[in-house]
Chains A and B, each alone.
Chain A
Amino acid sequence: MEESPSSQVLFEIEGLILDALQVISYKWLSRKFSIPSNMAKRLLERFVSQNKQLDLEVVYAVSGWTKQEPQCYSVQLVPKSKLEDVKASLKENPSVHVYSVQRCLPKDPAQLWSADFVQAVELFNQPQDVNNSLRDNRFSAVSCTLVQRSLLRKTSGSTSSQQQIPVAAAKPISTPRGPVQNAAQPSHISRSTTADRKPVKSEIPPVPPISALSHHAKDVIADIKPVKTEIPSVQSVSPQHDAKDTALGKNGSKIVVLPPAGKRKAMASVPLGGANGGSSISNLWGKAASKPSATSHSKELEPPVEVAGDAEARIQAMEADGFSDEDVDPYVSTRVKRTAGRRRMIVEDDDSGNEGAEEDEEMIVRLGTPDSPQDVKPLLWNGHDRSMVPKDQISEVNAKSSTLEMKVSSNLVQDKNGLASNIQPAMKDKVVQKSNVVEQDVPGFRAGIKRKKVMKTRIDEKGREVTEVVWVTEGEDTASADEKPPLVTAKPSAPTNKESDTKASTERTRALPKPQPAPPKAPASKGGKSATKATGKQQGSIMSFFKKQ
C-alpha cells in the first residue's frame, strides 16, 4: 500500500526515460519530486531492478579508497558493464549507488550533467527571496548549521528603504521549512525535527509526488513552496521584472504582486511619456521661439564673422537679461541636439542590458507603490509620493529635464568660442566668461545651492555595472542624492536655467511652475528619447551651420 506513490513515481520515470529519452539522475529526481537525494537513489535502484527487461543503461557512482598507495578516495561514474572491475580496484566495501538511468549512454559524459544543470539554473534564477532546494541544500544528507542566507542588496547607493530590505527579507528565508515541505512532500524527511519523522513515515502513501508528476518543471517551484502562491505569476513576468522583484522584495511574497501592476503602469506611461515629451519640447521651444527651426539660423548666421558676432550679441543680450527669442534659439537647438546625442549614447549602453527599461520600470513602480494596500512604502518613500502627479506632467518635465545638461550647453558655447576665436580672437575672453556664467548661474539658482554633475557607478542586482551621470547637490548627503534617480536631481535645475535665461518667454514661464510642485521621478531614457525626437529635424541644420564656417 505504501508503494503506491513511489510506484507512481517509478512509472513516471519510465515514461521520461523511454518516451522523452531523458537522462534521469538521482539529483534531478530529488529536486523534481522534492525528495532527499538518498531516497532518490533508492528509487532509481528500485526502478532499475524492476525494469531489467527494458535494457536501460545505468550509470553507477562508485566510491571508495584506492588500494594503491598513497591512499586516495576515488569517486567514479561507471557504466554497468564496468561496475565489477571498478569495485574490485577499490578497497573492501565501496559505496555504490545508481547515479543515473537513461536509454543509452551519451557520447559526451557532460550530457549527464546538462539536465541537472538546466534544473539547477532554473532554481538558481528564481527570485532571490525564494528559498528552494538549491539554496538551502535541503535534500543533502549533511546539514550545516553555519549556513545562513541573507539577502543584501548590493547597489551602492543604499537608501533607507533599501537598507530595510535585509531585515524584512530575513523573514521569507527563515520561514520554517517543515510545513512547506510537508505540504509539498510529506514523505520527505525534513530537517525540521526528528519527532516529525514518524508521522511522516506513516504518511508516506499520500499523493504529493503524483501531483508533482502531473506538473511540469516550472511547477517544481510550486511544490517546493506552495505557501507562496504568487510565485508562479512572478515567474511569468519578464526577466527584468525578476530583478525588480528582488529590488522590492523586502516584504517577501507580498510585494511580489506589485511588479505586474507596476509594469502595467510602466507600459502605459512609457509611450505616453515619449509622446508627451516630444510634444512638450516642441511646445516649449517651438512656441517660445518665433522662429523655431534652426534652418532659419543657418540663414542668419551664414557669414562666419557673423557667427562670432552673433555669439557676442547673444552674450550681451543675456547679460542684459533681455535678449530676444531669436537669440536664444541657437542655444536651444544646439543644446537639445547635444543633449540628445548624449542621451542617446547612454541609452545605447543601457539597452544592451535592458537597463534603461529596467530603470523605467523601477521608477514607475515606485510611483505606483502607494496603490498597493499592503505597502509599507509610504514610510520608506517619505516625500516621494508622486503617484498623484498626472502622468503627462511628469513626462513633460522629463522632456525638459533632458534638455538641461548644463555642462553640455556651456561646452557648446566654448565650442563656438573656438570657432569664433579663429576669426575674432578678441571675442574669446568674453565668450568664455559668458559660458562660465551660464554654467554657474544654474547651480546657483536655488538659494545658492551648488550642483555639480558626477559620474556614478553602481552595480545593479544583475551584477552589471551601471554608470550614470548624476546631479549632486553640494552640501547634501551624497547618499540621499544617490537615492533619487539621476534625473530627478537634474530636473529642478532645468527650468531654472530657462528661467534665468528667458524671462521674456511667457510660454516658458507658464511651463515652469509645473516641475516645482512635483519634481518628478521619471526615467532617464524617456527624456533622452523625447529629446532626440524633438531635435530630429534640427540636427541637419546645425551641421550645415558648421559646414558653412
Chain B
Amino acid sequence: MEDMDVDMLPRVQATYVSHNEKFELKKQKYKGQQYSQLYFFRLTFTRQYLNPRIKERWPSYIVTNILGLDEGKVCVVIGTLYKQMKLKPNILDEYSKERSVGGLVVPSNFTDAEDYLILEDESGRVKLVGDCISPAVYVTGVVVAVCGQPGKDGEFLVEEILEPGLAPQPPLPTRKKSESEKYVAFVSGLRCGGPETNPLQVQLLVDHLTGHLGEEQEQSLSAQVVRTIIAGDSVQLQAQALHGQPLSSKDQHKLIEPIKELDLVLTQLASAMPVDIMPGSKDPANFSLPQQPLHKCLFPGATAYSTFVSATNPHQFELDGVGFLGTSGQNIEDLDKYSLADDPVDYMERTLSWRHIAPTAPDTLGCYPFHDRDPFLIEPSCPHVYFCGNQDKFSTRLIRGPKGEMVRLVCIPRFAETGTAVLVSLSTLECHCVTLSTSLLEISSIEDIKPDIKP
C-alpha cells in the first residue's frame, strides 16, 4: 500500500503575455469601407522594411514607381503582386450564359502554367516577365521589390526579386540550468461531437496532459507542459440541422451537444493547466479573419477558470519571452489553393519571408476591412514559434535567418484524424509529437488472436 502514496508533481509555469490586441475588433463597422486601405497599409509598411534591404542589395539602382519607369533603364520597383489566374473562380461565372462550358469538377488548386504576375503600386500596374520569377510561388497580395528593366508592351523584365525577409527577432531566452524543461502543447481539429471522432482519443489526450495517464515518468513529462493551445476546429457541428428554419428543440440539442462535450474537455484541461482556444473555420465564430474569440457563453464550465483563455485567430502571445504566432490554418489552406509547394511548411516559410501571414486576404481569404492597419503583417518582431493548425500531417522545420534568427515552424495535424498533438520546447524550440491511439482495440485487429469473445 505504501506505493500508493504519490507526490503531486507541481506543474511548471511560464509567464504568459497576450499580443492579440491588433486582432481584436472592438468596434466592427461596415460603412462601405473598401479593402484598398488594407492594401495601402500593407504596401506602405512593407516598403519601410524593403527600403533598407534595397539599399543594401542594389545600392546603385534607383527606386521608382511604376509610372516613372523608363524603358531600357534598370531600376527597382516596390509593389503589390497580383496573380492573374486562368482557373481562379469568379463569382460572375455563375451568371454566365454558357454555364455548361465549365467543368463540373471544381479543382482544389487553381494554379495553371499560364498564370502570370502583375505588380501594382499607387501609380499603376505592370506585367512581370522573366525566368527568375515563378508565378506558382507567389500569390496576390504579396509586397515585393523587383529589380529589372521595363520592356516594350508595358512589360517589366525582372532580373531579381527581393522579399522583405524575416522580421527582426529578439534572442531566444536561454534556460537556466536549474529550471525544468518547459513545453507548449499544440493541438487542433479535435472535432468534438463529430460522427467520426473518437472521443476516447480526445479523452486520452486530456488525461495525458492533465497528468492522469501513465506512470510517474509520463506524468513528469506532462507536468512540463506549461500551456495547451487548441488551434481551431474544436467542434464539429451538425450543420445539416441548420436549414434556415427555426430549430426544433431536438435539433437544438443536436447542435449544442458537441459544444457541451468540448466544454467538458476544456473544463478538465483548464482545471489542470492554462488553455488557449482559438476559433477555426468550422467553429461557431465569425468567418472572416481575424476570427474573434469564441464566446465564453459557449463554455460555461471552462470559463470559470482563470486558466481558460478564448483567443483570436490568428493568435500571438509570448511565454517566458518566447514569441508565438499562429493560425488555425485558413491562411495556409488558401495559399495551398492559389500557389504550389511540396509541403505546407514551405507556405509557412514563405509567409514569414513575405512578413505577412495572410497575403491572400482579402483577395481570396475572408478578412475584415481594416481601414487603419494591416494586422497580418509580422511586426514588430518575428515569432520564435510559428504554428498552423488543421494540417493533414505533422511537419516541422527550424529556419535560421541571416542574423541568427531562429523560427520553429509547426504544422499541427488534425487530431481527430491523426491522434497527434505537438509539443514544442520553450528553451530549444525542439519539437516532438505525442500520438494517442486506440486503434489496437479495434475488433478487427484483435480478432485473429481472440476470435471467440464471450458476451
Question: Which chain A residues have a beta carbon within 8 Å of chain B's beta carbons?
Answer: 2-3, 6, 26-27, 30, 36-39, 42, 55, 59, 61, 63, 70-79, 81-82, 86, 93, 95-97, 103-105, 107, 109-110, 112-113, 116-117, 120-121, 124, 128, 134-137, 139-152, 154, 187, 189, 191, 194, 197, 201, 204, 352-353, 459, 461-463
- What are the 6 tightest A-B residue pairs by CB atom distance, in nearest-first order? A142-B211, A95-B215, A144-B11, A113-B200, A148-B306, A137-B271
Complex partner residue of B6 from A38, A70, A128, A145, CB under 8 angstroms: A38
Residues of B near A120 (CB, < 8 A) are 264, 268
Q: How far is the CA of A75 from the CA of B303 in the complex (A)?
A: 29
Known: A61-B214, A63-B218. A189 touches B203 (CB 8 A): no
Interface residues of B in 439-455 (CB under 8 A from A): 440-443, 445-446, 449-450, 453-455
Q: Interface residues of A: mostly helix, strand, loop or mixed?
A: mixed
Known: A103-B455, A104-B454. 14 other contacts (CB 8 A): A2-B1, A27-B212, A70-B433, A74-B437, A75-B218, A86-B440, A105-B441, A121-B264, A135-B304, A137-B271, A142-B222, A146-B11, A147-B273, A194-B7
B215 close to A97 (CB less than 8 A): yes
A73 close to B433 (CB less than 8 A): yes
**B140 sits at the interface (CB 8 A):** no
Q: Which of B296, B297, B441, B449 has the most CB of A within 10 A?
A: B441
Residues of A near B252 (CB, < 8 A) are 352
B8 close to A191 (CB less than 8 A): yes
Distance in Å from the Cβ of A451 to the closest Cβ of chain B?
Answer: 28
B199 close to A105 (CB less than 8 A): no
Known: A38-B6, A39-B4. A76 touches B207 (CB 8 A): no
Interface residues of B in 1-31 (CB under 8 A from A): 1-11, 13
Scoring B residues 409 to 442 as 1 if CB is less than 8 Å from chain A, else 0, what string do you get? 0000000000000010000000011111110111
Complex partner residue of B435 from A75, A135, A197, CB under 8 angstroms: A75
Complex partner residue of A116 from B203, B208, B215, CB under 8 angstroms: B203
9 CB contacts below 8 A, A to B, read: A63-B213, A63-B218, A73-B435, A105-B441, A109-B442, A142-B211, A143-B11, A148-B307, A154-B303
Q: How far is the CA of A136 from the CA of B271 in the complex (A)?
A: 5
A134 close to B296 (CB less than 8 A): no
Distance in Å from the Cβ of B229 to the closest Cβ of chain A?
Answer: 16
Residues of B near A37 (CB, < 8 A) are 212
Distance in Å from the Cβ of B100 to the closest Cβ of chain A?
Answer: 45
B433 close to A61 (CB less than 8 A): no
Q: How far is the CA of A120 from the CA of B438 in the complex (A)?
A: 20
Residues of B near A201 (CB, < 8 A) are 1-2, 5
Q: How far is the CA of A122 from the CA of B268 in the complex (A)?
A: 13
B437 close to A144 (CB less than 8 A): no
Residues of A near B8 (CB, < 8 A) are 140-143, 189, 191
A97 close to B454 (CB less than 8 A): no
**B122 sits at the interface (CB 8 A):** no
A75 close to B213 (CB less than 8 A): yes
Complex partner residue of A27 from B1, B11, B207, CB under 8 angstroms: B207
Please tell me the number of chain B residues within 8 Å of chain A, measured between CB atoms: 72
Residue of B nearest to A75 (CB): B436
**B267 sits at the interface (CB 8 A):** yes
**B210 sits at the interface (CB 8 A):** yes
**B240 sits at the interface (CB 8 A):** no
Q: How far is the CA of A147 from the CA of B272 in the complex (A)?
A: 7
Residues of A near B3 (CB, < 8 A) are 42
Q: How far is the CA of A93 from the CA of B216 in the complex (A)?
A: 12
**B217 sits at the interface (CB 8 A):** yes
Complex partner residue of B13 from A26, A139, A146, CB under 8 angstroms: A146
Q: How far is the CA of A468 from the CA of B454 in the complex (A)?
A: 58
Q: How far is the CA of A339 from the CA of B419 in the complex (A)?
A: 56
B217 close to A93 (CB less than 8 A): yes
Residues of A near B274 (CB, < 8 A) are 146
A140 close to B267 (CB less than 8 A): no
**B78 sits at the interface (CB 8 A):** no
Q: How far is the CA of A414 from the CA of B265 in the complex (A)?
A: 54
A82 close to B304 (CB less than 8 A): no
Distance in Å from the Cβ of A458 to the closest Cβ of chain B?
Answer: 10
**B301 sits at the interface (CB 8 A):** yes
B305 close to A81 (CB less than 8 A): no
A77 close to B200 (CB less than 8 A): yes
Distance in Å from the Cβ of B442 to the closest Cβ of chain A?
Answer: 7
B433 close to A135 (CB less than 8 A): no
Q: How far is the CA of A109 from the CA of B437 in the complex (A)?
A: 10
Residue of B nearest to A205 (CB): B1
Known: A76-B438, A142-B9. A61 touches B305 (CB 8 A): no
Distance in Å from the Cβ of B109 to the closest Cβ of chain A?
Answer: 28
Known: A63-B213, A154-B297. A81 touches B446 (CB 8 A): yes
**B204 sits at the interface (CB 8 A):** yes
Residues of B near A462 (CB, < 8 A) are 300
Residues of A near B217 (CB, < 8 A) are 93, 95
